[in-house]
Amino acid sequence: MKITIISHNYFPEDSGIGLYSTGMAEFLALKHDVNIITGVPYYPQWKIYSNYANNPLFSKEIINNVTVYRFKQYTPVKPTFFKRVLQMTHFFLGSVFNIIKIKKADVVLVVMPFTLSIILGWFLKTIRGGGMLWVHIQDFEFDAAFKNGISAKNQLPSKILFKIEKWTLNRADFISTISRGMMIKSAQKTTVNQVYFPNWIDYSLINPEIAQENKVFNKNTFNILYSGNIGEKQDWNFYIEFVTAMEVHPEFHFYLVGEGAKRVEVLKQLQNKVNFTYYPPVPYKQLNNLLCDADVHVLFQNSEFNDLVMPSKILGMMASAKPSIVTGHKDSEIKVNFENSHGGYYFDENTIETIKMCLMDLKNNPEKARLMGILARDFVIENFSYEKVLSEFQLKLEDTVQKK
């Protein structure tokens, strides 16, 4: 088959949506002819990578058998909702010219966000003779944005954007999402047929058996790690409050490794904490050493974002064979996964004393922590392995195209 993927994020981005769009494209390219329409890399730093900074407006590469068409999109240094809309619009307008370069597409696979990219996919499907339009939802971008209170001040833009979202989703022949909860959310927006297509983990790369000691952690403390995007979907107020409360326990140390829109704000409030250390993101090839060398992972989520997103970092945390402490919505699918795996703790409230007791328990019972980590890793290997998820998706894609 000839497959064209439209995803704003792609290699060399090695976290978030870029990581998964790249993995999907390269897996499909082992058997099919794959093109991708994308932008230049900028995430998670919100700055165009230095080796792409001097790119022309339009460029073309071939990476691991995938033909990559890039448009150099506007990238805000400090992303806000409306700057994100501007970025989305700029990518949309520029990518129209790359779409025209595609001569045939049996499948057009659009990764959402951006919502406007669905129109690009629909346009390509229309001009190239009726291939199938498949929309894969990684993030409900409008829902997440309006959870931040934007809708309360801007009701008219809210209504307009959700109407646009509904119209674009209805252009699809098929929709997939990364969690069961997101499938329910999608069904509230459109009647298009949909399937479950979760994110995955390459457990051969996140593997404690090949991990080496990293130079980040202090070996004389119990090390608590958050690694990932420092953005709106995490409860940073609670994180700051918790780190502050734990200053009286110097045997515990917090490490924040990542980048994102909230980084400056968070670091400003934690800069004088002796039990806290920040590092910028590590390359993906070093991520295994970082994740597997922590004593425990933490992820404090804003409960308002229940199943609008499914944090991909969870899979890496669990694959590291170390326990995790996660907070979020009481009905979250992540909660179900933790209950089924017994690979960590999940709480629907951010309570200092409760989480403090968990940390104390894990520190004082290393065998319990070890067994909990093993259960977490076994669970993700069984349910979210690279081979299992992408092989099942490819079969579903081929079967759907054949029937159409």
pLDDT digits (tens, 9 = 90+) for 47-89: 999 999 999 999 999 999 999 999 999 999 888 878 888 999 9
Residue 152 — pLDDT band, cuts 50, 70, 90? very low
- pLDDT of 309 higher than 80: no
Q: What percent of the chain has pLDDT over 90?
A: 71
What ranges in 29-108 are assigned the alpha helix state H? 81-99
Which residue intervals of the chain bear CATH 3.40.50.2000? 2-200+385-403, 222-384
The letter for the amino acid at 197 is: F
pLDDT at residue 180, as a whole number: 85
- State mean pLDDT over 387-393: 95
Q: What percent of the chain has pLDDT over 70?
A: 95
CA distances from 247 to 70, 218, 234, 272, 352 (A): 47, 16, 21, 11, 13
Which fold, 2-200+385-403?
Rossmann fold (3.40.50)
pLDDT at residue 23, as a whole number: 96
- pLDDT of 304 higher than 80: no
- State mean pLDDT over 101-128: 93
Coil, strand, or helix at residue 329?
Answer: coil
- State mean pLDDT over 125-144: 85
- State mean pLDDT over 17-45: 95
- pLDDT of 297 higher than 90: yes
Q: Beta strand pairing status for 107-112 and 58-63?
A: unpaired
pLDDT, greater one: 255 or 334: 255
- State mean pLDDT over 346-365: 94
C-alpha span between 145 and 197 (Å, rounded): 23
pLDDT at residue 33, as a whole number: 97
- State mean pLDDT over 34-53: 94
pLDDT at residue 29, as a whole number: 98
Average pLDDT score over the chain:
91
pLDDT at residue 131, as a whole number: 85
Residue 241 burial by Cβ neighbours in a 10 Å radius (0-12, 13-18, 19+): middle
- pLDDT of 305 higher than 80: no
The 8-class DSSP code of residue 135 comes to: E
Instruction: Kindly report the backbone phi and psi dihedral angles of residue 40, in degrees, each rounded to the nearest multiple of 5, phi listed first.
Output: -85, 150
What ranges in 222-321 are assigned the alpha helix state H? 236-245, 263-270, 284-293, 313-319
pLDDT at residue 149, as a whole number: 52
Residue 302 — pLDDT band, cuts 50, 70, 90? confident
Which fold, 222-384?
Rossmann fold (3.40.50)
Which residues lie below 8 Å from residue 323, measured CB to CB, with a gap of 6+?
296, 297, 343, 344, 345, 362, 369, 372, 373, 376
pTM of the model: 0.85
Encoded tokens for 122: 């629909």
- State mean pLDDT over 186-194: 91
